[in-house]
Amino acid sequence: MKKVFIKYNPYKIETEIRIEGKKLAENSILGEKIVPGARLQEWVEELPQILIDEYNDRDFEIIFHGTLLDYEDLAEAFTLAFEEGELEVTLDRQPAKETEDKEVLIEQVFEKIKKGPFDELRDEEVINSFEHARSSEFEVCVVATMSAGKSTLINSMLRTKLMPSKMEACTAIITRIKDNDSPGWQAEVYNKENRLIETQEDLTNLTMNRLNEDSQVSLIKVTGNIPFVSAEDVSLVLIDTPGPNNSRNPEHRKVQSEFLGKSSKSLVLYIMEGTFGSDDDNLLLEKVADSMSVGGKQSKDRFIFVVNKMDDRKKEDGDTEQTLGRIRSYLKMHGIVNPNLFPAAALPALNIRMIENGQQMDEDTIDETEVKVKKLNRNENMHFENFAPLPRSVREEINAQLLEASDAQDTNGQALIHTGVMSVEAAIRQYVRKYAKTAKIKNIVDTFIHKLDAVGCFEETKKELASRQDENEQIVRQIELINKKVDDVKEARKFHIAVDDAVVKVNEDAREVVEGIIEKFQQRVRKKIDELRGTELEMGEVEYEMQGLEKFARKLEPDFQVELDELIKKNLVDSVDVLLQNYRKKLKSLTEELDGNVLQGITIDPLRFMSGNLSSGDSFSIHKLVQTKQVEDGEEWVKNTDKKWYKPWTWFQESGYTRTKYKTVKYVDGGEMADEFLQPIQNVIYENGENATKYALKQSKKISETFKKEFQKLDMLLKNKLGELKSFATDKEQAEARIRESERKLQWLKEIKDEVESILEI
């Protein structure tokens, strides 16, 4: 039996593995797989097989030192390998500090920092940086094809009927619902130009229905209490997006495509029904599968497939496990293996919660809900919480709630758990705790450390200068020389030229990438044209093929925009990095003692990409492509009219013959139709690519100008600090007192920094 010790720190994203008490060998496959910065969830599913292959053993004792959530992922991977007969394993866990422990420590440290001896750590900028890190948003995008019950599921989680919901497709706008734990619902309403056109202090379902039907409305930002989470954890944002065929704004499809993209870290709730397999489903699932193909378990975890309306399934539809099995097979056909499938009954969950909360409901709904409650409680096949892929600790919590409801003879409470909606909520909370909260804690600690390093560096310099009074003349000359360099016009011009050249270089690199993206998407268009080339479509087939081309174009548009958008964002971030690097070089050229940490606090928000869209089939006419030709139309008997009794030479001729009959039909050349329809799209792809390059250069130049102004402010800050240093270097009378004060401050800094850094330890 091989003894394996694994220590994983999710805050620092650090892994330590020892086999039989020894570190991994340098040529270890395991060491190559677990690279620095790789989350446990990226490699844990492969770990059992790697251990088998590398150590030629199938019997392992695993001791894991880490958080409960990470241990459960590890246990799941080894349990699966054990059940498949790949190995024998015993698992044990050494507890670690959980996220809740860290949050308490952060609050305590922040209070100490605010009461500490440094005014710089009490200014508004530091407090804002902390608050921004603490209140970071976590987005959950809810997607579905038509009438899967998406809005009903959201309402059931909100425990009230807020979102419009009816049998046909009903979501035509994007709604962002942000949790702030406050009672009631408030909203800001934006049009297609992203301008605020209306505010609501008391948002209701009636108002939401009106806004959803208003063609001017594009986005609604709602705030209120999302009951199953706390805003103190993270500011959860539920984002309701329109289905593929029900968006009134092309920008909406781009937003959905961004959430489904590989680079997104948002959680996605994919709502489907037990009946599945529409073309729209297929298009969405292609994007999901592509995104899930990278990033290991975390990519898998961030997609939760909710199979809604399971309470409406009949006996002949098969039991729940059979239905889920068919859906797994269907998703596997799309490249989605072992999905997180959650069966649910959203409408009964909503109605139960509204009844429990004393909200007004009609008699028919109350009666229907009573029937559903009995059905859910009586039929074990509808105890959907039993089919939810949740870790043991979460399942135990839900089972404890079920037992409590059973002991209290709370039939509504039991049925609510059986609807599976509470399991979906638990899965969202788990993802937030596992990924979002650990990242937030790391972000807050980094914010603290950067600020502490900045003030510590300057305090060390002041102490050094105060203790070297015998060198004050040399020090003063050095400071004055630095001041002169800061004010030097020629140096400033050289710096600005270097900055401009760097930005141009970044954009030249971006142009090459844009050209690659253009070619990639034009190839997709050409391939589509080639698929139809040489085919002749009868008029009855044209409409079907046109629908296929329109779907192809609709899918192409957001994908193209997202790729360009991600490039632009990266390009602008690269521009900012280049600018900051140049300023750091400038500081370094002034003196090695000054630290670039004076730059802390500068933030650049990513700029949004242009909202261009590709042409659709609305204005496209196929009439000019219609042609005619003769085609076989069966056979016909042609009588020999020349055969007559009075013509003896015709007596031995046949009385007639069979010939092929022809008719004139209208048809369209498939290749010509595709070429005619998609050619404008090819042109727009090229034009948008060119516009993207120009836009990137324009925005980079804007950033460059903004930064030049910021750099001037930093120069003034630097001169002020140099003045303070000069004072410390020349004031002999205050020198001893200042040295003692600096020593006291630096000791406080050391202690508080040790305390801050310990927050990330497990």
CA 142 to chain centroid, in Å, comes to 11
Biggest CA-to-CA distance, the chain: 148
Q: Which residues contact 645 (CB under 8 A, 6 or more apart)?
A: 651
pLDDT band at 603 (very low <50, low <70, confident <90, very high): very low
Based on the domain organization, do 213 and 335 belong to the same domain?
yes
Percent of the chain with pLDDT over 90: 18
Residue that the structure tokens 């993207």 belong to: 692
Give 180-213 pLDDT, tens digit per residue: 888 889 999 988 888 889 999 999 999 998 988 8
Q: What's the average model confidence in pLDDT over 529-535?
A: 68
| Statement to judge: residues 295 and 160 lie in one domain | yes
Domain CATH for 305: 3.40.50.300
Lowest-confidence pick of 23-37, 191-205, 412-426: 23-37
| Average pLDDT of the segment spanning 439-456 | 79
The mean per-residue pLDDT over the stretch 683-690 comes to 68
Residue 457 counted as domain residue? no
207-221, 399-413, 706-720: segment of lowest average pLDDT: 706-720
Q: What is the pLDDT of residues 270-304, one digit of tens each?
A: 998 876 655 556 667 777 777 776 656 667 778 89
Confidence class of residue 3 from pLDDT cuts 50, 70 and 90? very high
CA 518 to CA 522: how far, in whole Å? 6
Question: Do 165 and 66 belong to one domain?
Answer: no
Q: What is the pLDDT of residue 419?
A: 96
Asked whether residue 90 falls in the same domain as residue 144, the answer is no
- Residues 366 and 17: their CA atoms lie apart, in Å, by 57
> Within a domain: residue 37?
yes
In Å, what is the CA distance from 213 to each residue of 180, 190, 208, 515?
A: 27, 14, 9, 40
Quick check: is 340 in a domain? yes
Q: Are residues 219 and 313 in the same domain?
A: yes
Q: Please indicate, yes or no, if residue 590 is contained in any of the structural domains.
A: no
Same domain, yes or no: 246 and 304: yes
Q: Is 195 exposed, middle or buried (0-12, 13-18, 19+ CB in 10 A)?
A: exposed
Using the predicted structure, report yes or no on whether residue 650 has a pLDDT greater than 60: no
Residue 367: what pLDDT? 92
Q: Say if 350 falls within a structural domain.
A: no
Contacts of 508 (CB under 8 A, 6+ apart): none
| Residues of the domain holding 155 | 139-344
Provide the pLDDT for residue 92.
93
- Residues 194 and 297 grouped into a single domain: yes
Q: Is the same domain home to 86 and 184?
A: no
pLDDT at 125: 63
Is 68 in the same domain as 193?
A: no
Query: Of 344, 365, 384, which one is at a domain's C-terminal end?
Result: 344
The answer on 329 and 215 residing in a single domain is yes
**Total number of domains in the chain:** 2
Chain segment 485-514, per-residue pLDDT in tens = 767 667 777 777 777 776 677 667 667 767
Same domain (yes/no): 243, 319: yes
Boundary (domain end) residue, out of 96, 120, 153: 96
Which of 152-161, 379-388, 532-541, 588-597 shows the lowest mean pLDDT across its residues? 588-597
Q: Are residues 154 and 280 in the same domain?
A: yes
Specify the CATH number for the domain of residue 55.
3.30.420
Number of Cβ within a 10 Å radius of residue 49: 13
Q: Does this model's pTM top 0.85?
A: no
Could you say which of 344, 373, 391 is where a domain stops?
344
| In-domain check, residue 661 | no
What length is written for the chain?
762
**Residues pairing with 268 in the sheet:** 141, 303
CA dist 172 → 245, 279, 579 (Å): 9, 19, 42
Asked if residue 175 is part of any domain, the answer here is yes
Rounded to an integer, the average pLDDT of 577-594 is 60
For residue 568, tell me if it sits in a domain: no
User: Please, which residues have CB within 8 angstroms of residue 397's CB and are 6 or more apart in sequence?
Assistant: 426
